[in-house]
Amino acid sequence: MFAHAGQGYAGHGTLCGALGVSSCLINLVLYDENQTYATVIDRMMWWYSGMEFPTERFDDISKFPKQVKAKAMTPLCHTSVSKWTLAAGAEVTSKEKYERCAKVAGEVVYTVVHYLNEYFDGRWKPAKWTPSKEISHCIECHGPEGFLEYTDGMNQQQGHMECLLCHTDHTK
């Protein structure tokens, strides 16, 4: 049903497929007037961006345990995988890379289940995203824009990714 999400949606390297599928499921389960789904999806996205993948959680069933880790920095498949392949010295077509992605998908599912359990146990408290010190000066002028808010001017930062992955720092 969600095969289209593989390799960043039909091989385009956009959003990590595990995040996209999880977002759909979170939306289906938590859709309410408080937009709880948005707080859970938001938290999941910036959790992923801050993680060093792959973790060792699934090493006991892995053909490639103790793989090199690299911080994702973004929920984008292409960037996350590229950072890892460079750090690991692996080819993007290697079995090690596919194993890494399988571990990442498992970690995403594990985390989503944890968040959903918190919600259904009455323990969910939306976390507040805080920009890294490297981009905090960017957010002073360009954000943060709320999920369903719109304002005129420069307050148009969208997402909680590291700005400097895609943009140059025009203040220096």
Looking at every residue in the chain, the average pLDDT score rounds to 88
Taking the C-alpha atoms of residue 61 and residue 49, their distance in angstroms, rounded to an integer, is 25
Where does the pLDDT of residue 159 fall: very low under 50, low under 70, confident under 90, or very high at 90 and above?
low
Q: pLDDT at position 136, please?
A: 85
| Placement of tokens 């399988």 in the chain | 102
Q: Is 76 helix (H, G, I), strand (E, B) or coil?
A: strand
Where does the pLDDT of residue 145 fall: very low under 50, low under 70, confident under 90, or very high at 90 and above?
low
All residues at 6 or more sequence positions from 82 whose CB lies less than 8 Å from its CB, including other chains? 92
| Placement of tokens 């996205």 in the chain | 45
- Which has the higher per-residue pLDDT, 142 or 47? 47
Taking the C-alpha atoms of residue 11 and residue 16, their distance in angstroms, rounded to an integer, is 10
Rounded to 5°, the CA angle 41-86-97 comes to 65
Q: pLDDT at position 146, please?
A: 59
- Give residue-wise pLDDT tens across range 94-139: 999 999 999 999 999 999 999 999 999 999 988 877 888 888 888 8
DSSP-H helix ranges across 14-94: 17-30, 36-50, 77-88
Give the closest residue to 164 by CA, choosing from 53, 78, 81, 74: 74
Q: pLDDT at position 12, please?
A: 83
Taking the C-alpha atoms of residue 90 and residue 53, their distance in angstroms, rounded to an integer, is 14
Q: pLDDT at position 2, please?
A: 87
Range with the poorest average pLDDT among 15-19, 114-118, 141-145: 141-145
